[in-house]
């Protein structure tokens, strides 16, 4: 009962849930399914919304993805179990234009994109959110592990209780206007608690594996997809050492990402000190179609330029001391941020050098005073090597 009371309080929709319809973004996984079940138990009029995202060129039916054909079927089964309406929304064309095309174009530019953020930023929190409003829903709830708190009448984002499942990095681009309408009921739960709840509700997805891959690249072979969708945009080129020596050839810069060590297919360098022999991808040069490699020391970076920033606080400061997360798998590190509000850009000065920072990734800012508080973030545009 305490859980239900806490969820009702967190929904911030008043004391009478029966007066409110709540839409739930249902991917067919355990998290969104439990979200629907919890809100249904709370007494809200719950409706399930699932996105159909793939055109005929990309057929996905993999247990490690979300929003595939099998997942929509699972979402429908859960809705049937809960006796709530279920809608399938065909966003395949929009998803291709706003997410998949952006993904392939970024790889061709030599960047390392994060399509899950683009999906949240566009299709899910624009098209689906607007559809939920058209249905008369008071809010759109998701199964993301993140917390939403109201501070002085403004919604703010905080990390989830379960640090291993926290998804704040992927939600930095959510606007304050979107947060006014969004809800995240699982923010205070551990993942094992969510699975236990799924079993208590008798949901067949209780033991379904978590999605681990990019949904439209289920085996993680990004370059295969890019070659399939844009075969004429990929040319072979040279693999060049930072000292200018040509070490080999590549079949396309899409096969490489900054910081990569394995799969270079050029071997190490002989007759040099150990720290010089192991090579990493240092830079991907789109203009010359070259992959630049070198020792790890050349990956060290202490300044980063960020574009298309999104701030989740009413921040008008020109400088901020923050913790910044530079990849989802990285730990946040201390930095100072210089903000240009007019250009919507920022410059990050790291307290200590970091390695393997790639354009196309996100830089997400957290408060130094409360490292769970998400300030916002932006997209890495340029890096400055030491």
Q: What is the pLDDT of residues 90-112, one digit of tens each?
A: 988 888 888 888 888 888 888 88
Instruction: Please report whether residue 213 resides in a domain.
Output: no
Rounded Cα distance between 27 and 133, Å, is 19
Indicate whether 66 and 196 sit together in one domain: yes
SS3 content of the chain, % helix, strand, coil (to 5): 30, 30, 40
Are 46 and 141 in the same domain? yes
Q: Is residue 77 part of a domain?
A: yes
Q: What percent of the chain has pLDDT over 70?
A: 93
| Distance from C-alpha of 110 to C-alpha of 260, rounded to nearest angstrom | 13
Last residue of a domain, one of 265, 296, 327: 296
Residues 356-372: what's their mean pLDDT?
Answer: 95
Indicate the number of domains in the chain.
Answer: 3
Q: Give per-residue pLDDT as tens, 310-361.
A: 999 877 889 999 999 999 999 999 999 999 999 999 999 999 999 989 999 9
Q: Which residue has the tokens 């590549």?
A: 250
**What is the domain-level CATH number for residue 255?**
2.30.30
- Whether residue 221 is contained in a domain is answered as no
Say yes or no to pLDDT of 218 above 80.
no
Question: Which among 42, 67, 119, 309 is annotated as catalytic?
Answer: 119
CATH number of the CATH domain containing 153: 3.40.50.620
Over residues 140-170, the pLDDT tens digits come to 999 999 999 999 899 999 999 999 999 999 9
Q: Identify whether 119 is a catalytic site residue.
A: yes
Q: Indicate the DSSP class of residue 275.
A: H
Tokens of 137: 């829903």
The tokens for 12 are 């911030």
Are residues 51 and 96 located together in one domain of the fold?
yes
Residue 209 lies in a domain: no
Is 224 a domain residue?
Answer: no
Q: Please indicate, yes or no, whether residues 68 and 145 belong to a single structural domain of this protein.
A: yes
The domain in which residue 269 lies consists of 235-296
- Whether residue 7 contacts residue 189, with contact meaning beta carbons closer than 8 Å, is answered with no
Question: Cα separations (Å) of 34 from 29, 31, 57?
Answer: 9, 5, 32
Burial class (CB within 10 angstroms; exposed 0-12, middle 13-18, buried 19+) of 140: buried
The answer to whether residues 290 and 159 belong to one domain is no
171 and 242 assigned to the same domain: no
Residue where one domain finishes, among candidates 151, 181, 200: 200
Same-domain pairing of 161 and 61: yes
Whether residue 379 sits in one domain with residue 323: yes
Q: 143 in a domain, yes or no?
A: yes
The residue whose two tokens read 């970091």 is: 354
For residues 13-24, average pLDDT: 96
Per DSSP, the three-state class of 306 is strand
Residues 356 and 269 in one domain: no
Q: What is the pTM of this model?
A: 0.90
Comparing 193 with 105, the larger pLDDT belongs to 193
Instruction: Show which of 296, 322, 340 is a domain's final residue.
Output: 296
Lowest mean pLDDT among 92-96, 220-224, 232-236, 289-293: 220-224
Q: 3-state SS string over 315-366?
A: CCCCEEEEEEECCCCCCCEEEEEEEECCCCEEEEEEEEEECCCCCCCEEEEE
312 shares a domain with 278: no
Q: How confident is the model at residue 215 (pLDDT cuts 50, 70, 90)?
A: confident
Does 179 share its domain with 317? no
CB 176 within 8 A of CB 154: yes
C-alpha 240: how far from chain center: 32
Check: CB of residue 304 under 8 Å from CB of residue 384: yes
Does one domain contain both 364 and 316? yes
- Write down the catalytic residue from 66, 79, 215, 309: 215
Domain membership flag for residue 127: yes
Query: For tokens 């007759």, what's the residue?
Result: 271
The verdict on residue 219 lying in a domain is: no
């Amino acid at each position: 009962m305490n859980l239900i009371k806490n969820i009702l309080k967190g929904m911030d929709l008043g004391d009478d849930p029966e007066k409110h319809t709540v839409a739930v973004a249902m991917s067919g996984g355990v998290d969104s399914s439990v979200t629907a079940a919890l809100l249904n138990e709370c007494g809200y009029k719950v409706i399930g919304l699932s996105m159909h995202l793939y055109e005929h060129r990309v057929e996905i039916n993999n247990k490690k993805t979300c929003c595939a054909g099998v997942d929509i079927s699972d979402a429908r089964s859960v809705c049937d179990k809960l006796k709530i309406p279920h809608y399938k929304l065909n966003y395949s064309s929009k998803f291709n234009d706003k997410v998949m095309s952006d993904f392939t174009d970024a790889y061709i530019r030599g960047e390392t994109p994060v399509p899950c953020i683009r999906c949240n930023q566009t299709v899910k929190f624009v098209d689906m959110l607007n559809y939920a409003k058209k249905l008369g829903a008071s809010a759109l709830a998701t199964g993301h592990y993140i917390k939403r708190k109201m501070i002085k009448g403004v919604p703010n984002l905080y990390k989830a209780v379960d640090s291993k499942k926290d998804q704040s990095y992927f939600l930095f681009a959510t606007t304050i206007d979107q947060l006014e309408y969004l809800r995240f009921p699982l923010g205070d739960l551990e993942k094992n608690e969510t699975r236990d709840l799924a079993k208590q509700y008798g949901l067949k997805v209780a033991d379904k594996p978590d999605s681990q891959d990019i949904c439209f690249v289920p085996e993680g072979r990004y370059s295969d997809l890019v070659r399939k969708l844009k075969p004429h945009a990929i040319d072979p080129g040279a693999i060049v050492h930072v000292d200018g020596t040509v070490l080999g050839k590549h079949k396309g810069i899409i096969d490489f990402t900054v910081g990569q060590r394995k799969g270079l297919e050029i071997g190490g360098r002989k007759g040099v000190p150990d720290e010089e022999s192991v090579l990493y991808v240092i830079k991907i040069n789109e203009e010359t179609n070259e992959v630049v490699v070198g020792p790890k020391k050349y990956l060290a970076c202490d300044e980063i330029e960020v574009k298309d920033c999104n701030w989740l606080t009413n921040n008008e400061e020109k400088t901020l001391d923050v913790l910044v997360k530079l990849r989802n798998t990285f730990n946040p590190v201390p930095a100072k941020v210089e903000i240009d509000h007019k250009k919507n850009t920022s410059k990050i000065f790291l307290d200590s050098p970091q390695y393997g920072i790639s354009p196309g990734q996100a830089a997400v800012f957290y408060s130094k005073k409360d490292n769970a508080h998400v300030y916002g973030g932006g997209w890495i545009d340029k890096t400055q090597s030491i």
